[in-house]
């Protein structure tokens, strides 16, 4: 069976669902990794992409209280917070000055019960006005759905308004796991997987590129993972709008779903199989915040070709016990990539090369 | 199987892909431990002093004698730490310094006798630099020091202080510490007295691949001679707060890929060692789990207390239960062992 999968990969034939399931159940971690690295090098040569970015989470107040989330708060909670646009701009200024420059800002937030849609448009406009060269990657499909409701616009109208206010691309969050039964347990209030895919499809049709994610290592089975990957692959065939796929390794601390951290082997396998199965998505990103820096580095030889950026001050995963640092320096990222024998490539939001290091 | 030569090993470490290194190491581990058992020991590190004459540049733990944070452990404190260890199911203490300039052999003998008369616990203690220092201080042979410590209750010796057994590297990063031959000699004498020891290696500082192989070869040779090593434990230099980092500001800590390459090569090269240990303290649980597929079969200690690596800014804390679950979740059978790698209990 493995040799058949190997053959398919070499001749460029697509893996079936059964192939992917076989790989998830297989113990052949080193062979899977080798194959995934072969594919990764075929697509991205020896390059590993990263971006100098900052995460901003304007509020942790959220009307959804997903069971896997340790970040969200209700209005009135003592540690609930809200950022004004001025605070966001000041934060960006401060970081741009201390780091030298920032290429992208990643904005995701709780679903605030009172903020007006206008506030988000103003936020984007103000950022673009102050920092025209910073790419804005903002709002998951879950937030888009919420905005369309509070503003009473269609998804298309909502996205168009955000786009003209300065939205460049969208992150891939909120996908979690598409399977309705599992989703109903871990995040019953969140939009369905089907709705997530519809919104992303609309974004792609309007020329907004997005990422895709999958949260794994909680209650889902391997079948659920493969189904999830398949839905992403199908949508990508249709739209070509996904830039990168980011498997998210579950962080159980401070959440309501008490399971173990996924094992290092499971993380590597999931990354490698994603690379092998998602033959139409150009980049697989190692989200070091959840994997830890060390596993993330290793994953660059197991199918990942992209590292989450320098990330100044990550909050969401760290609320759930992420054991990584809150940010990595440029030097650390470059050294991580060079040690695996690959070429560090600083990119912009659209994967244009900013600099070869 | 034909032994891997030094030359081949250097080439493998430099050239062989990570997948091939892993595969070969994984197969050897499977042959040596066909039941998929992964062991761990429940113990506590007790550092009886942090005062040290060696002042190694890679170490962030030592203090000079007059420093406000300098200490020598009191008997009360020692007793309390051992009681806690036993209460948590511990079977051994890892007892190490500092090489304190003023403490003579009597201090050590007294400490060992105190421990052994009060507690039923295995003392895995000191390291070649401490033993060698005592021999010089007392003007007696290493063998005599070992005999007297053994008599007082020392059971086995940890493999610390080996760092890299290449004098070229030692002269730069630990000029005050004993040289390679002295380190090996202490271990040889201990083995001859029937004491078992482990062997360690600290890499990822300023050594070259050749130095790593030099190290592995030296301990393989000694193991051929004595058979006294229980296990090999490679770990990577943690640069924060160290003199070596100040002198080499460009020095970045070795990443997981380097660690796993060295780990798997150790498994391949050390064909006369039964056990290879992962270092979750320096690598984190996820890489330790991965290490079990790169040749390792032992998870080391539960580390109820660890001071040295923590001084260098690395602190992965886990409980025994987390270690058990971490081993299970990658398909191995966790078992508590004693210092001699006898299995005490399956989980």
- CATH of residue A12's domain is 3.20.20.70
* Confidence check: pLDDT of A68 > 90: no
Which helix (H) or strand (E) is A209 found in, with range? strand A209-216
CA distance to A105, B205, B255, B301, B305, per residue, from B281 (Å) = 34, 17, 14, 9, 11
* Residue A110 domain flag: no
What tokens appear for B264 in the block?
A: 């798997």
Which member of A260, A298, A332 has the closest CB to residue B256? A298
Whether B313 and chain A come into contact, CB under 8 Å, resolves to no
Residue A239 C-alpha, separation from nearest chain B C-alpha, in angstroms = 35
CB count, 10 Å around CB of B346? 10
Look at residue A316 in the predicted model and tell me its pLDDT.
67
Whether B144 and chain A come into contact, CB under 8 Å, resolves to no
The answer to whether A339 contacts B19, with C-beta atoms less than 8 Å apart, is no
Look at residue B164 in the predicted model and tell me its pLDDT.
92
What tokens appear for A103 in the block?
A: 């290429």
- Sign, Cα dihedral of A147, A148, A152, A153: positive
- Sign, Cα dihedral of A248, A254, A259, A260: positive
Look at residue A136 in the predicted model and tell me its pLDDT.
98
In whole angstroms, give the CA distance from residue A195 to residue B329.
Answer: 34
Mean pLDDT score of chain A:
93
* Confidence check: pLDDT of A252 > 90: no
Whether B330 and chain A come into contact, CB under 8 Å, resolves to yes
Look at residue B320 in the predicted model and tell me its pLDDT.
83
Whether B19 and chain A come into contact, CB under 8 Å, resolves to yes
Q: Which residues from A are below 8 Å from B when comparing CB atoms?
A: 27, 29-31, 33-34, 37, 260-261, 263-268, 291-292, 294-295, 297-298, 301, 323, 331-332, 335-336, 339-340
Provide, as residue numbers in chain A, all residues whose Cβ is less than 8 Å from the Cβ of B284: 292, 294-295, 323
Which helix (H) or strand (E) is B23 found in, with range? helix B18-32
The answer to whether A264 contacts B288, with C-beta atoms less than 8 Å apart, is yes
Give yes or no for a contact between B125 and B96, defined as CB atoms under 8 angstroms apart.
yes
Task: Go through chain B and tell me how many residues it has.
Answer: 347
CA distance to A83, A139, B97, per residue, from A222 (Å) = 39, 28, 49
Note the pLDDT tens digit of each residue in A74-95: 988 999 999 999 999 999 998 8
What tokens appear for A220 in the block?
A: 């889902």
Interface with chain B: mutation pick from A37, A294, A302, highest number of B CBs within 10 Å: A294
Which member of A33, A264, A336 has the closest CB to residue B289? A264
Q: Which residues of B238-247 are buried (b: 16+ CB within 10 A; e: fewer)?
A: bbeebbbbee
Provide, as residue numbers in chain A, all residues whose Cβ is less than 8 Å from the Cβ of B15: none
Residue range of the domain that includes A250: 2-54+140-356
* Residue A112 domain flag: no
CA distance to A15, A157, A196, A265, B160, per residue, from A173 (Å) = 25, 21, 10, 23, 46
* Confidence check: pLDDT of A99 > 90: no
A147 pLDDT band, cuts 50/70/90, is very high
Residue pLDDT tens, chain B, 347 long: 689 999 999 999 999 999 999 999 999 999 999 999 999 999 988 999 999 988 887 788 889 999 999 999 999 999 999 998 898 889 999 999 888 999 999 999 999 999 999 999 999 999 899 999 999 999 999 999 999 999 999 999 999 888 899 999 898 888 888 899 999 999 999 999 999 999 999 998 889 999 999 999 999 999 999 999 999 999 988 877 778 888 888 777 789 999 999 999 999 999 999 999 999 988 999 999 999 999 999 999 887 766 655 565 555 556 788 899 999 999 999 999 999 999 999 99
A7 pLDDT band, cuts 50/70/90, is very high
Look at residue A66 in the predicted model and tell me its pLDDT.
85
The answer to whether A294 contacts B325, with C-beta atoms less than 8 Å apart, is no
With a CB cutoff of 8 Å and minimum separation 6, the contacts of B243 are B55, B56, B57, B58
Over its C-alpha atoms, chain A yields an Rg (Å, rounded) of 19
* Residue A180 domain flag: yes
* Confidence check: pLDDT of A326 > 90: no
Q: Label the pairing between strands B333-337 and B343-346.
A: antiparallel
The answer to whether B286 contacts A30, with C-beta atoms less than 8 Å apart, is no
With a CB cutoff of 8 Å and minimum separation 6, the contacts of A152 are none
Q: Which residues of B105-130 are buried (b: 16+ CB within 10 A; e: fewer)?
A: beebbebbebbeeebebbbbbbbbbb
Look at residue A177 in the predicted model and tell me its pLDDT.
97
* Confidence check: pLDDT of A219 > 90: yes
Provide, as residue numbers in chain B, all residues whose Cβ is less than 8 Å from the Cβ of A27: 331
Provide, as residue numbers in chain B, all residues whose Cβ is less than 8 Å from the Cβ of A270: none
Task: Pick the closest to residue A256 from A66, A80, A40, A52 (CA basis).
Answer: A66
- Higher local confidence (pLDDT), A202 or B57: A202
The answer to whether B290 contacts A298, with C-beta atoms less than 8 Å apart, is yes
CA distance to A81, B59, B94, B100, B202, per residue, from B48 (Å) = 47, 16, 10, 10, 22
Find the angle CA(A210)-CA(A214)-CA(A218) to the nearest 5 degrees. Answer: 155
* Residue A96 domain flag: no
The answer to whether B255 contacts A331, with C-beta atoms less than 8 Å apart, is no
Look at residue B158 in the predicted model and tell me its pLDDT.
94
The answer to whether A265 contacts B288, with C-beta atoms less than 8 Å apart, is no
Which member of A266, A291, A339 has the closest CB to residue B255? A339
Whether B256 and chain A come into contact, CB under 8 Å, resolves to yes
- Taking CA–CA distances from A331, the nearest residue in chain B reads B252
Q: Which residues of B70-101 are buried (b: 16+ CB within 10 A; e: fewer)?
A: bebbeeeebeebbeebbeeebbbbbbbbbbbe
- Taking CA–CA distances from A336, the nearest residue in chain B reads B255
Look at residue A60 in the predicted model and tell me its pLDDT.
94
Interface with chain B: mutation pick from A24, A28, A30, highest number of B CBs within 10 Å: A30
ipTM above threshold 0.85 = yes
Task: Go through chain A and tell me how many residues it has.
Answer: 357
The number of distinct structural domains making up chain A is 1
The answer to whether A263 contacts B283, with C-beta atoms less than 8 Å apart, is no
What tokens appear for B195 in the block?
A: 């004491």
Q: At A135, phi and psi to the nearest 5?
A: -70, 140
Q: At B233, phi and psi to the nearest 5?
A: -130, 100
Look at residue B211 in the predicted model and tell me its pLDDT.
95
Which member of B17, B257, B330 has the closest CB to residue A339? B257
What tokens appear for A131 in the block?
A: 């920092």
Residue found by looking up tokens 């070509």 in the block = A240
The answer to whether A265 contacts B23, with C-beta atoms less than 8 Å apart, is no
Look at residue A65 in the predicted model and tell me its pLDDT.
82
Residue A186 C-alpha, separation from nearest chain B C-alpha, in angstroms = 22
Look at residue B178 in the predicted model and tell me its pLDDT.
87
* Confidence check: pLDDT of A1 > 90: no
Note the pLDDT tens digit of each residue in A103-134: 999 999 999 999 999 999 999 999 999 999 99
With a CB cutoff of 8 Å and minimum separation 6, the contacts of A38 are A9
The answer to whether A340 contacts B255, with C-beta atoms less than 8 Å apart, is yes
Look at residue B308 in the predicted model and tell me its pLDDT.
57
Q: DSSP secondary-structure letter at A207? A: T
Give yes or no for a contact between A127 and A159, defined as CB atoms under 8 angstroms apart.
no
Which member of A263, A265, A297 has the closest CB to residue B256? A297
Torsion of CA B165, B166, B170, B173, to 10 degrees: -100
The answer to whether B257 contacts A297, with C-beta atoms less than 8 Å apart, is yes
Torsion of CA B139, B140, B146, B149, to 10 degrees: -60
* Residue A125 domain flag: no
Read out DSSP for B174-241? -TTS--HHHHHHHHHHHHHTT--EEEEEEESSS--HHHHHHHHHHHHHHHHHH--EEEEEEEE---TT
Provide, as residue numbers in chain A, all residues whose Cβ is less than 8 Å from the Cβ of B259: 294
Boundaries of every domain in chain B: 6-346
The architecture in CATH of the region B6-346 reads: Alpha-Beta Barrel (3.20)
The answer to whether B284 contacts A294, with C-beta atoms less than 8 Å apart, is yes
Note the pLDDT tens digit of each residue in A304-324: 999 987 766 666 666 766 666
Hey, is A250 helix, strand or coil?
A: coil
CB pairs under 8 A between A and B: 79
Look at residue B243 in the predicted model and tell me its pLDDT.
80
Whether the ω angle into residue B312 lies within 30 degrees of 0, i.e. cis, is no
With a CB cutoff of 8 Å and minimum separation 6, the contacts of B215 are B162, B164, B165, B166, B201
> In the sheet where B92-96 sits, what is the strand order?
B43-47, B92-96, B122-125
């Amino acid at each position: 069976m493995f040799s058949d999968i190997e053959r398919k990969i070499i001749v460029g034939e697509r893996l079936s669902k059964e192939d992917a399931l076989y790989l998830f159940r297989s113990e052949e971690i080193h062979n899977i990794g080798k194959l995934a690295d072969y594919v990764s090098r075929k697509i991205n040569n020896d390059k590993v992409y990263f971006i100098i970015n900052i995460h901003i989470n304007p509020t942790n107040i959220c009307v959804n209280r997903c069971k896997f989330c340790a970040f969200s708060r209700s209005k009135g909670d003592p540690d609930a917070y809200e950022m004004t646009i001025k605070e966001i701009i000041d934060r960006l200024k401060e970081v741009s000055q201390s780091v030298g420059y920032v290429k992208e800002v990643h904005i995701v937030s709780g679903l605030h019960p009172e903020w007006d849609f206008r506030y988000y448009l103003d936020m984007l406009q103000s950022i673009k006005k102050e920092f025209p060269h910073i790419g804005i990657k903002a709002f998951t499909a879950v937030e888009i759905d919420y905005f369309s409701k509070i503003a009473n616009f269609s998804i298309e109208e909502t996205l168009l308004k955000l786009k003209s206010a300065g939205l460049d691309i969208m992150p891939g969050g909120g996908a979690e796991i598409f399977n309705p039964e599992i989703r109903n347990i871990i995040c019953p209030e969140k939009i369905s997987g089907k709705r997530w895919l519809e919104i992303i499809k609309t974004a792609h049709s309007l020329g907004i590129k997005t990422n895709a994610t999958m949260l794994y290592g909680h209650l889902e089975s391997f079948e659920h993972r493969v189904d999830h990957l398949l839905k992403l692959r199908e949508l990508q065939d249709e739209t070509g709008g996904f830039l990168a796929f980011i498997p998210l390794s579950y962080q159980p601390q401070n959440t309501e779903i008490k399971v173990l951290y996924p094992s290092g082997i499971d993380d590597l396998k999931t990354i490698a199989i994603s690379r092998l199965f998602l033959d139409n998505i150009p980049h697989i990103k190692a989200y070091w915040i959840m994997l830890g820096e060390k596993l993330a580095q290793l994953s660059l030889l197991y199918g990942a070709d992209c590292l989450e950026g320098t990330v100044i001050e990550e909050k969401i995963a760290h609320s759930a016990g992420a054991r990584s640092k809150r940010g990595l320096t440029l030097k650390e990222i470059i050294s991580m990539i060079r040690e695996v024998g690959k070429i560090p490539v600083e990119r912009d939001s659209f994967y244009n090369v900013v600099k070869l290091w | 199987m034909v032994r891997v030569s030094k030359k081949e090993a250097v080439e493998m470490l430099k050239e062989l892909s990570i997948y091939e290194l892993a595969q070969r190491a994984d197969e050897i581990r499977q042959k040596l431990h066909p039941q998929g058992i992964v062991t761990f020991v429940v113990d506590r590190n007790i550092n009886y002093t942090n005062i040290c004459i060696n002042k190694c540049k890679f170490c962030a733990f030592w203090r000079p004698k007059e420093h406000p944070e300098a200490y020598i452990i009191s008997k009360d404190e020692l007793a309390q730490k051992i009681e806690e260890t036993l209460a948590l199911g511990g079977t051994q203490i890892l007892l190490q310094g500092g090489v304190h300039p003023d403490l003579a052999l009597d201090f050590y003998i007294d400490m060992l006798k105190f421990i052994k008369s009060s507690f039923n616990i295995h003392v895995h203690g000191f390291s070649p630099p401490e033993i060698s220092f005592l021999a010089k201080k007392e003007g007696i042979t290493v063998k005599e020091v070992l005999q007297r410590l053994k008599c007082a209750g020392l059971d086995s010796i940890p493999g610390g202080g080996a760092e890299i057994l290449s004098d070229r590297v030692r002269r730069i990063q630990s000029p005050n510490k004993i040289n390679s031959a002295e380190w090996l000699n202490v271990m040889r004498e201990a083995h001859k007295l029937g004491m078992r020891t482990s062997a360690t290696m600290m890499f990822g500082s300023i050594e070259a691949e050749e130095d790593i192989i030099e190290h592995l070869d030296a301990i393989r040779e000694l193991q051929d001679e004595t058979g006294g090593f229980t296990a090999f434990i490679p770990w990577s230099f943690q640069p924060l707060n160290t003199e070596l980092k100040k002198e080499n500001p460009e020095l970045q800590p070795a990443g997981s890929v380097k660690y796993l390459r060295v780990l798997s090569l150790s498994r391949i090269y050390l064909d006369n060692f039964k056990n290879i240990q992962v270092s979750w303290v320096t690598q984190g649980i996820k890489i330790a789990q991965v290490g079990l597929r790169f040749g390792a079969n032992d998870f080391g200690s539960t580390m109820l207390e660890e001071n040295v690596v923590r001084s260098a800014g690395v602190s992965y804390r886990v409980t025994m239960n987390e270690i058990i679950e971490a081993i299970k979740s990658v398909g191995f059978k966790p078992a508590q062992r004693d210092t001699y790698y006898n299995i005490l209990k399956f989980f």
